[in-house]
Structure 1
Amino acid sequence: MKRLLGIISSDNTEKLLVSSGTFIGLVDLSQKTDFKYYDWLRDRDYVYTDSNIASEEVFNFRLGPLAGANQECSIYHLKTYGERMLAVNIDQTYKSRKIENLMVGRSFDEAIPLAESVCSNFAFSHSVAFTQAIEEALGIELSDYSKLLRVIFLEIERIYNHIYVIAKLSISAAQKVYSSHLLYLFERCISLNSKYFNSTFLKKIKRVGEVKDFPKELFLNYLEELKKVVNEFKKIYNFSLDSRNYLDRLHNTGILTIEDFYNIGFDGPALKAMNYSLDIREFSKTTKNFKPILEEEGDSLARMIVRAKEVSQSLEIIEESIELLQETQPESPKSLKTSQKRDSGIGQSESASGTITYYVEIKDQKIDYVYISTPSTFLFRAIQKALVGQIFTDFPFIVDSFGAFFCDCAR
């Protein structure tokens, strides 16, 4: 499956940033007809408009920018005649900070905190994608030891994000006891981050050419505490599956199809819930024998199930990686080519909600151009599509099931 990640406008030319499994790179603009969503992705920073339904019976119900249903500043324009949403327009511009522009002219060390600030929940994933792009531009290959550390922290980030999304869904369904337990486990996860790695959201860990090292014994101690969190999560999650009222709220709600993928280009758990995957871990030499978790229904319930199963899968990956870490010695990164005054690179990471991609151009050891492709950019389009035809009470179940963030979308 070929996917358009962005439109690169540099040196007065445009090229397409395209990914298809083992390939990631720039292709000629003539291939834009292969992607139905080229036009809106080219104008991704404008308000998403889907329909201009006009009728005396239809009115615009505006939700936001500050509302109880919104966890971030944003506006949903819901066209309705009373209960069912006939069309949805989303204004995602309130969280725009123009981070790509702020990076230009900065040194690598100055730009990394900006990448981490795009979305705190995906801070480590952003730092990995950004530094990988720099490493490719400079011809630097991480040591096997650093690659294992990178895998460990990415899976740690995945676990607490999935627990957080499932907690949001349980809150929407008024499962108060269940949601309280889940929020406690989420808080426990990020507290462990602070305790062992000195950062709640795993910031200041990834740098160009390296991943911050910690004593091997520390990872073993951390793993024992993380196992308790995951085991408790599995216990209460399995218990929640006995609540038919809860599951009924998610089942057949916000269904997407493969045609929606071809029209929008989203990935992550939203795509896996439709029995398809573009998870880049499948093609990584560090995560060998990785098999994506897949469901078939394409609804909010399927998206939740994918996340719940991935929590256990991530723990297994962390265990295997820490075991390998004990047998691996730290090394310096390898330099694959001599430094040049100007070069470009592409970096990717698989966040909890989908692939994050950075395209960078460097000049004289500073950032000259940046393009950030985030999963939430595509997911809010998917949310817009999934909401149409649903009733108002389904709104939070659909939105929360995607795990999208406006800050991640608007950058």
Structure 2
Amino acid sequence: MIYLEVKPEEFKSTCLKLHKELHSPVMMLFVDDERIEQGGYFIYCAFLSFKEQQWSWVKTRLPADNPVFDSIAKEIYSANLFEREIKEMFGLEPLGNPDNRRLRLHDEVWPEGHFPLRKDFSGANAGGRVGEYSAGQVFGEGIFEVPVGPVHAGIIGPGHFCFSVAGEPIIKLSTRFGFTHRGIEKLLENKLPDEGVALAERVSGDSSLAQAQAFCRAIENISKLIVPERALYLRAIFLELERMYNHISSIGGMAIDVGFSFPAALCSIIKEALQALNDRLVGSRFLKGAVAIGGCRDIKEGDKKLIIDSLAIIMADFSEVRKMLLTSVSFMDRVDTTGRLSLENAENLGVLGMAGRASGLAVDLRDNIYPYSAAGFKMMVRNEGDVLARLIIRLDEFEESGRLIQELLDKLPKGETMSQPGKYSQGSGLGAVEGARGPVLYWARLNNEGRIVRCKIVDPSFRNWTGLSLAVLENIVPDFPVCNKSFDLSYAGNDL
């Protein structure tokens, strides 16, 4: 971990240099309000050398009476959403960024001048001017708009999509989220780390394990807590089980969105088998309570046979799903070349995770990390960037996860699964986990009482929704559902 503390006027040039040298998007960009302790705001920007798994941070202090900084979004577009978030939540001005739209605090209901992540925020009840939401419109002969949402016909989160269409092809997609904003980062303030685990599990319900594990890793890094080797293996096993049930759910969703109901039904059976296995292992279908700061829940010796026997049945059913999908001419016609996201656009937007790998970005936080290195982890990458590529990545990763679980079980060491943290240390640290959708990132700072002062969360959906907006262009509206499901992003994870 490399930290570079620079003067405010050097912040932009240092970020641009690291971006160019490391060939990394902006992984995190956030503010920590330290006006009480140090008389100003601190802004952090993180980059990652994917080959060496080396994190580099740029940090600068902004005075309380002049909270402005030079925008880097024009040169590094992956910084844009972060800069909008900083202005919305802290009121700091990114000079030179023309995009000042809010992300989560909707103009119609949230008054101006109230910044909830400032330490002196006491509520938005004091009044203030509210505005009106304006989505960028496309004008021209024969162009019309198709609004969808925010409430959808299914058990999914709320999000508003507005399609500008010329004839049949989509020429612009405007998205609006924030409907499930709960103020998670604010809720974490002043909490003890052990209390924070339960909140992290609720950031995005279908990624409870990845969220909790990333949070735990951040706290463990602050306190230099050594996690037992057996716990590292079990954490990886649980993480792969979570990846498997998410991937099979997405694969079934793609099938149902083109009317292919039989493989979709079989996917539901497989997902149920995986979640029932989770419940038998840790008492939660969503793996809540499986990890804790310092380790994780243990499994009994008989559970190893349960997992292996369950996976044998699951993989047999899965092979049928794969065969049905890839040999159906009508299904392949709907997914091949549909919803393409180019490598260049993926890099510029900072799209990562499964969606990035389908466009040729060979980035996976599991690569060369123990215990995955001991299990012979193989990264799945494609270059086509379309719905079919994202489907095949999910199919291949499902099989790889099954193989990894069996390999990790074979090598599972004996011993304890928990290290007792004792008193938490003062300081800051990062936790990073490759979840089912991509990198789940938590940066936390603890005070001298061991309480959380600031916790920044980046769910992979936050950066990947923009990839969907580009991928659907020049496709037809009826293909949007399968494009959307091929990304299968989290509304709650985006909205926090």
Q: TM-score, normalised by structure 2?
A: 0.78
Residue deviations 1:261-300 (CA, integer Å, cap 9, x gap):
2321011111111222210111302111322011121100
Partner of 1:39: 80
Partner of 2:385: 298
Residue deviations 1:203-224 (CA, integer Å, cap 9, x gap):
0111110111121221221221
- Contact 1:7/1:17, CA 8 A, preserved across alignment: yes
Alpha-carbon distance in structure 2 between the residues aligned to 1:3 and 1:217 = 44
Q: Which has the higher contact order (CA 8 A, sep 6+)?
A: 1
Alpha-carbon distance in structure 2 between the residues aligned to 1:332 and 1:386 = 44
Secondary structure at the counterpart of residue 94 of structure 1: coil
Q: Which amino acid aligns with 2:77?
A: K
Instruction: Find 2:404's aligned residue among 306, 317, 322.
Output: 317
Secondary structure at the counterpart of residue 141 of structure 1: coil
Give the C-alpha shift of residue 357 in structure 1: 0.4
Structure 1 residues 21-36: aligned runs within 5 Å: 21=50, 22-28=53-59, 32=72, 35-36=76-77
Give the C-alpha shift of residue 82 in structure 1: 4.1
Alpha-carbon distance in structure 1 between the residues aligned to 2:254 and 2:306 = 31
Q: Which amino acid aligns with 1:201?
A: F
Structure 1 residues 61-210: aligned runs within 5 Å: 61-68=146-153, 71-210=156-295
Give the C-alpha shift of residue 47 in structure 1: 4.2
Q: Which ranges in structure 2 are unaligned for 5 or more consecutive residues?
A: 1-22, 35-40, 61-69, 89-101, 105-133
Q: Which amino acid aligns with 2:255?
A: S
- RMSD of equivalent CA atoms: 2.2
- Contact 2:244/2:398, CA 8 A, preserved across alignment: yes
Alpha-carbon distance in structure 1 between the residues aligned to 2:343 and 2:135 = 19
- Contact 2:48/2:55, CA 8 A, preserved across alignment: yes
- Contact 2:423/2:450, CA 8 A, preserved across alignment: no
Partner of 1:380: 465
Q: Which amino acid aligns with 2:43?
A: E
- Contact 1:356/1:375, CA 8 A, preserved across alignment: yes
Distance 1:166 1:339, change over 3 A: closer
- Contact 1:16/1:32, CA 8 A, preserved across alignment: no
Alpha-carbon distance in structure 2 between the residues aligned to 1:31 and 1:328 = 51
Instruction: Find 1:330's aligned residue among 401, 411, 416.
Output: 416
What is the percent sequence identity of the aligned residues? Answer: 24
Distance 1:408 1:395, change over 3 A: same
Alpha-carbon distance in structure 1 between the residues aligned to 2:135 and 2:273 = 40
Q: Which amino acid aligns with 2:78?
A: Y
Give the C-alpha shift of residue 188 in structure 1: 1.6
Partner of 1:236: 321
Does 1:355 pair with 2:442?
A: no
Give the C-alpha shift of residue 31 in structure 1: 9.9
Alpha-carbon distance in structure 2 between the residues aligned to 1:189 and 1:218 = 14
Alpha-carbon distance in structure 2 between the residues aligned to 1:339 and 1:365 = 5
Instruction: Find 1:9's aligned residue among 18, 21, 31.
Output: 31
Q: Which amino acid aligns with 1:297?
A: E
Q: Which has the larger Rg? A: 2
Alpha-carbon distance in structure 1 between the residues aligned to 2:358 and 2:274 = 25
- Contact 2:459/2:494, CA 8 A, preserved across alignment: yes
Does 1:269 pair with 2:269?
A: no
Q: Which amino acid aligns with 1:316?
A: R
Alpha-carbon distance in structure 2 between the residues aligned to 1:194 and 1:210 = 19
- Contact 1:254/1:299, CA 8 A, preserved across alignment: yes
Give the C-alpha shift of residue 339 in structure 1: 5.2
- Aligned positions, number: 408
Q: Which amino acid aligns with 1:377?
A: F
Range 272-281 or range 392-401, more displaced: 272-281
Alpha-carbon distance in structure 1 between the residues aligned to 2:329 and 2:483 = 18
In the TM superposition, structure 1's runs of 4+ consecutive aligned residues that sit over 6 Å from their partners are none
Partner of 1:367: 452
Give the C-alpha shift of residue 131 in structure 1: 0.5
Secondary structure at the counterpart of residue 282 of structure 1: coil
Alpha-carbon distance in structure 2 between the residues aligned to 1:239 and 1:62 = 34
Q: Which amino acid aligns with 1:322?
A: L
Range 276-285 or range 77-86, more displaced: 77-86
Give the C-alpha shift of residue 70 in structure 1: 7.8
Residue deviations 1:2-42 (CA, integer Å, cap 9, x gap):
13122120130212022222112422468947622222322
Q: Which amino acid aligns with 1:223?
A: I
Q: TM-score, normalised by structure 1?
A: 0.94
Partner of 1:343: 427
